[in-house]
């Protein structure tokens, strides 16, 4: 039988029941003696280009006349049998090739992104560049950061934070080099905040208001932007105003995307985006936040059903492998050599 109209028209199938009533969208083909049914089926499958070309109508289909007028190559009956036998011998090989090709295409499609993830993971495990004892230790850098934070707190420039829990051994899934240390993200930030939880007033022109779609590509996109009035922006506290050197981080829906703030243009953002104001140069932390290790933490901490959310408390408690500052810079330099090569593989 041949499906002549509707979804999947042109498909040839065997009727393996003694009697059947068929709809008008299906054409029954009865063979004369000395005709091999499997040969006819293979012939019709090979003629699918012709069948599809003859298709017409709102619900595409091929008329009976077009099928009856098809040119048909008719070998002797014995040869029909031998052709069928050869096709049935080769088809499993074709299927295996198709499966292997699909797997190869899938591997090639995923390879550049998988390679980037692997490089980022190597970077935060201290395996991308050599360690140099003369560059000092992360503990020394950490002490400097904490002293500076205390000074800013005393001067009223940043708020005092609640004590963070000690990092447990279970939160350290891999070894880091001597001279590195584990820190929580909030320990190396001046502040971590998010956007307004109430819908802001909208105006046709004013201060750009970012939503997830404006940052989901990993950079700030000011096209298709919403606007809020200047009066709204003026009431924002300093920890919610982004400056060059800060990092935005998506926390709802497409969570886990870090975005460098590289523009001096004023803007504000919705509560689905967090703002990280760092105590140190942003580059190493930016790449650490892109790593599979941080993404896995976000996955385990995200809550909600319709839209998963990484809360600010969870974000502040993210665990980061922390190298000395000079090594951070060398790691970043190496990443900026390697990651563009991955992009060229796409």
pLDDT for res 264: 92
pLDDT for res 6: 53
pLDDT for res 70: 76
Q: Half-sphere exposure of 247 toward its Cβ, with a 13 Å CA cutoff? A: 30
As its CATH architecture, domain 112-344 has Alpha-Beta Complex (3.90)
Domain regions of the chain by residue span: 2-68, 112-344
Q: Are 126 and 172 in contact (CB under 8 A)?
A: no
Question: Strand, coil or helix: what is 299?
Answer: helix
In 3D, which of 126, 120, 116, 114 has the Cα closest to residue 174? 126
pLDDT for res 8: 62
Angle at CA of residue 32, ends 31 and 38, nearest 5°: 45
How far is the C-alpha of 28 from the C-alpha of 272, rounded, in Å?
60
Low-confidence ranges of the chain (pLDDT < 70): 1-10, 13-18, 20, 22-25, 31, 57-58
pLDDT exceeding 70 applies to what percent of the chain?
91
How far is the C-alpha of 192 from the C-alpha of 282, rounded, in Å?
14
Beta strands in 162-314 (DSSP E): 181-184, 189-194, 207-210, 226-228, 247-250, 258-260, 268-269, 273-278
């Amino acid at each position: 039988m041949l499906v002549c109209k509707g979804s999947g028209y042109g498909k040839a199938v065997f009727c393996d029941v003694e009697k059947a009533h068929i709809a008008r969208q299906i054409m029954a083909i009865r063979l004369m003696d000395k005709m091999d049914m499997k040969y006819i089926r293979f012939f019709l499958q090979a003629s699918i280009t012709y069948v599809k070309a003859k298709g017409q109508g709102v619900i595409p289909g091929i008329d009976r006349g077009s099928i009856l007028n098809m040119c048909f190559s008719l070998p002797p009956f014995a040869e029909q049998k031998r052709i069928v036998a050869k096709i049935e011998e080769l088809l499993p090989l074709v299927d295996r090739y198709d499966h292997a090709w699909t797997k190869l295409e899938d591997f090639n499609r995923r390879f550049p992104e998988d390679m980037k993830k692997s490089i980022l993971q190597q970077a935060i495990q201290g395996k991308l560049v050599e360690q140099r004892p003369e560059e000092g230790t992360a503990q020394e850098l950490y002490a400097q950061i904490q002293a500076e934070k205390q000074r800013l707190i005393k001067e009223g420039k940043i708020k005092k934070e609640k004590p963070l829990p000690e990092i447990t051994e279970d939160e350290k899934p891999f070894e880091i080099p001597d001279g590195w240390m584990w820190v929580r993200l909030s320990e190396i930030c001046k502040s971590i905040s998010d956007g307004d939880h109430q819908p802001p007033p909208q105006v046709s022109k004013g201060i750009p208001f970012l939503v997830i779609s404006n940052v989901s590509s990993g950079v700030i996109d000011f096209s298709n932007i919403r606007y809020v009035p200047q009066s709204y922006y003026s009431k924002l506290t300093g920890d919610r105003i982004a400056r060059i050197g800060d990092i935005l981080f998506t926390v709802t829906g497409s969570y886990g995307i870090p975005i460098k703030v590289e523009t001096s243009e004023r803007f504000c953002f919705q509560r689905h985006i967090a703002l990280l104001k760092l105590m140190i140069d942003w580059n190493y932390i930016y790449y650490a936040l892109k790593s599979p290790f941080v993404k896995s933490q976000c996955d385990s901490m995200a809550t909600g059903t319709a839209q998963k959310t990484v809360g600010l408390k969870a974000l502040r408690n993210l665990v980061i492998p922390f190298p000395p500052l000079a090594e951070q810079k060398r790691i970043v330099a190496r990443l900026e050599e390697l990651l563009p090569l991955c992009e060229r593989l796409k």
